[in-house]
Chain A
Amino acid sequence: MIHASGLARTFTTRRGPVEAVSGVDIDVAPGELVGFLGPNGAGKTTTLRMLTTLLAPTAGSATVAGCDLLTDPLGVRRKIGYVGQSGGAGPDCLVADELILQGRFYGLSPARSRERAAELLEQLDLTGTETRVVQTLSGGQRRRLDIAMGLMHLPTLLFMDEPSTGLDPQSRANLWGHIRGLHAEHGTTLFLTTHYLDEADALCDRILVIDKGTIVAEGTPDELKRRVSGDLVLVGTTDPARAADITARIPDSTEHAVDGQTVRFRVPDGASVLPTLLGELSRAEVAMTSVEVRRPSLDDVFLTMTGRSLRETEGVGV
Chain B
Amino acid sequence: MTTLTETWLIFQRSMKQSLRNPAWVIIGIVQPVLYLALFGPLLVPIIQNTPGFPPGDAYQVLVPALLVQLGLFGSLFVGFGLISEYRAGVIERMRVTPVSRVALLVGRALKDVVVLVVQGILLTVLALFFGLRAPFGGVVLALALVAVLALAMSSASYALALKLKSEDTLAPVLNTIVLPLLLLSGILLPMTLAPTWLYNLSRVNPFVYVVDAERAIFRGDFGGSVVVVGIVVAIALVLVMVGWGVRTFQRESA
Contacts and interface: CB of A to CB of B under 8 A. Distances in A.
A92 B21 CA distance: 9
A54 B91 CA distance: 11
Interface of B is mostly: helix
B20 A92 contact: yes
Contacts of A89: 88, 90, 93
Interface in B149-188: none
Given A74-B98, A93-B17, A105-B94, A55 B88 contact: no
Contacts of B21: 92
Chain A binding surface, main DSSP class:
mixed
B96 A85 contact: no
A45 B89 CA distance: 14
B97 A106 contact: yes
A85 B92 CA distance: 10
Given A82-B93, A86-B89, A88-B89, A97 B253 contact: no
B38 interface: no
B89 A105 contact: no
B20 A105 contact: no
Contact of A85 (B89, B94, B95, B98): B89
Nearest to B12: A101
B203 interface: no
Interface string A110-128: 0000000000000000000
Nearest to B17: A92
A146 B89 CA distance: 10
A90 B95 contact: no
20 contacts: A52-B96, A53-B95, A54-B92, A54-B95, A54-B253, A54-B254, A55-B253, A82-B93, A84-B93, A84-B96, A86-B88, A86-B89, A88-B88, A90-B85, A90-B88, A90-B90, A91-B88, A92-B17, A97-B13, A105-B94
Contact of A88 (B20, B92, B98): B92
A46 B253 CA distance: 10
A26 B1 CA distance: 32
B88 A82 contact: no
A93 B89 contact: no
Interface residues of A, number: 33
A87 B88 contact: yes
Contact of B97 (A49, A55, A102, A146): A102
Nearest to A159: B96
Contacts of B247: none
A74 to B, nearest CB: 6
A77 B96 contact: yes
Contact of A91 (B1, B6, B84): B84
A104 interface: yes
A101 B9 CA distance: 7
Complex A-B, nearest 7 residue pairs according to Cβ-Cβ distance, in ascending order: A88-B93, A86-B89, A82-B96, A105-B97, A88-B89, A84-B89, A77-B98
A92 B253 CA distance: 24
Interface string A43-68: 00110010011110000000000000
Given A86-B88, A88-B90, 15 more contacts: A45-B254, A49-B254, A54-B95, A82-B96, A84-B96, A85-B89, A86-B92, A87-B93, A89-B88, A90-B17, A92-B20, A93-B13, A104-B1, A107-B98, A149-B93
Interface string B12-33: 0100110011000000000000
A286 B6 CA distance: 74
Contacts of B102: none
A80 B96 contact: yes
Contacts of B84: 91
Contacts of A45: 254
B99 interface: yes
A294 interface: no
A88 B16 CA distance: 17
A139 to B, nearest CB: 13
Nearest to A86: B89
Contacts of A101: 9, 13
Contacts of B98: 74, 77-78, 105-107
A253 B92 CA distance: 50
Q: Which of B6, B85, B89, B99 has the most CB of A within 10 A?
A: B89
Contacts of A80: 96
Given A54-B95, A91-B84, A92-B20, A105 B6 contact: yes
Contacts of B87: 86
A180 B9 CA distance: 33
Nearest to B88: A91
B18 to A, nearest CB: 10
Interface in B74-116: 84-85, 87-90, 92-99
Nearest to B103: A105
A262 B87 CA distance: 43
A190 B1 CA distance: 27
